[in-house]
Amino acid sequence: MATIADVADYTGLSRATVSRVINDYPHVSKDKRRLVHEAMKELGYFPNTSARNLRNRRTDLVAVLIPRLTNPFFTLILDGIEKVAEENGFQLIICQTKSSKKKELEFLNLLQTKQVDGVIFTSIENDWEQIQPYTDHGPIILCNEYHHDATVPMVRLNQVQGSYLGTKHLIERGHQRLAYCMGSTSGLSNDRRKGFFQAVNEAGLEVKAEWIFHDTYTMEDGVKTFNKILSLTERPTAIFTGGDEVAAAMVKEAKRNGLDVPGDIAILGFDDQPIASMIEPELTTIYQPGAEIGSRAMTIFIDCLKGKRERVRQSVMELPLSLVIRKST
């Protein structure tokens, strides 16, 4: 492969001048500029990125930590990140953590070894205490995650507001007995729970303990939980779910039981995934602007890198969720 020295020799100029041409610096005469361009083409020369990175102490590479590539919500975030990255000449390295603490830390090596300029987390497994030391080595942004004591910029979704919105919608449709059905008890769930009860309390409604369900992640879980709800003597007339899959499964199960949705029972999804508009009736659900938080996070990242923004100070940007009213409520 041809190097800058080859181009210099070929043209009879110095490496410095060739470099100036490559980087389009001023103070190079028209002829030499042309001469160099011709030589580059003639020799099939391309600047070596590793050499440039070494010298420039930058790689224009960003590591994006993502739990699962096959989770559409995270690829949506990735898509948003990519858009801004592409516009600004950054490349992304994908780091699939599979929600493993160990892997997460391993990927942070990329930062220490300067293989990347910085890191964007789209989910975080370790405690902040573990992550904090790495902030010395470059910008770290939390996207779709919130850690109380994190000393970096965070972009998150306002889950409280989102589930408040959805719950209020159910109440406005006249429902008095609401079931709440969630996955884990993570920070995300807590927020949603908070929004749910905020709306419920505001309306002066009561929610019985037996109307609250946890550990409902998959479609199978959804079917099980739905049947539990059916068997209740005082049965809720609306269900707030933690995801569209679960909601879709419930709709399916409701119809199998001869119930009309939303006539007999209303079901609210979460996430506005493709399924939401594919089933009958189409799901009313809550849209999370995944691409949007990705773009925002990347924009903030770039600002940090350019020093336009403090990178080791906590800052929180919160984006609202929105209600997508369809036919299931």
Which residues make up the interface to a copy of itself (CB under 8 A)? 1, 46-51, 53-54, 59, 61, 68-70, 72, 75-76, 78-79, 82, 86, 91-96, 109-110, 112-115, 219, 245, 248-249, 252, 255-256, 274-275, 277-280
Select the residue interacting with DNA from 32, 252, 255, 327 (CB under 7 A).
32
15, interface contact from a copy of itself, DNA, none, CB < 5-8 Å by kind: DNA
> How many C-alpha atoms does 291 have within 13 Å on its Cβ side?
7
Nearer to a copy of itself, 121 or 164 (CB): 121
CA distances from residue 198 to 161, 171, 207, 267, 271 in whole angstroms, order as listed: 9, 12, 12, 19, 20
Q: DSSP E strands: which ranges in the chain?
A: 61-66, 91-96, 118-121, 140-143, 153-157, 178-181, 212-213, 238-240, 266-268, 285-287, 315-319, 322-324
Residue 148 contacts DNA per CB under 7 A: no
CA–CA gap between residue 242 and residue 276 (Å, rounded) = 13
CA distances from residue 195 to 39, 111, 191, 198, 290 in whole angstroms, order as listed: 65, 37, 6, 5, 20
Contacts with 326 (C-beta within 8 Å, 6 or more apart), sequence order? 276, 277, 281, 282, 283, 284, 285
Nearer to a copy of itself, 114 or 224 (CB): 114
Residue 48 contacts DNA per CB under 7 A: yes
Contact 289, 296 (CB under 8 A): no
> Which SS3 state, helix, strand or coil, does residue 100 take?
coil
CB of 113 to DNA, least distance (A): 8
Nearer to DNA, 20 or 147 (CB): 20
Nearer to a copy of itself, 50 or 231 (CB): 50
- What six digits make up the tokens of 323? 């209600």
Residue 55 contacts DNA per CB under 7 A: yes
Select the residue interacting with DNA from 4, 61, 77, 305 (CB under 7 A).
4
CA–CA gap between residue 67 and residue 121 (Å, rounded) = 9
Nearer to a copy of itself, 174 or 274 (CB): 274
CB of 294 to DNA, least distance (A): 30
Within a 10 A sphere around the Cβ of 86, how many other Cβ atoms? 12
- Choose the binding region for DNA from 2-10, 78-86, 191-199, 253-261 (rule: CB under 7 A): 2-10
Residue 44 contacts DNA per CB under 7 A: no
13, interface contact from DNA, a copy of itself, none, CB < 5-8 Å by kind: DNA
- Choose the binding region for DNA from 42-50, 144-152, 194-202, 289-297 (rule: CB under 7 A): 42-50
Place of tokens 């068997």: 231
- What six digits make up the tokens of 296? 């925002």
Residue 61 contacts DNA per CB under 7 A: no
Nearer to a copy of itself, 166 or 243 (CB): 243
Local structure of residue 15 (DSSP, 8 states): H
266-268 vs 140-143, strand pairing mode: unpaired
Residue 27 contacts DNA per CB under 7 A: yes
278, interface contact from a copy of itself, DNA, none, CB < 5-8 Å by kind: a copy of itself
Select the residue interacting with DNA from 51, 69, 94, 316 (CB under 7 A).
51
CB of 72 to a copy of itself, least distance (A): 7
Residue in 87, 25, 23 with CA at minimum distance from that of residue 55: 23
Contact residues toward DNA (CB under 7 A) are 1-5, 12-17, 19-20, 22-23, 26-29, 31-32, 45-48, 50-52, 54-57
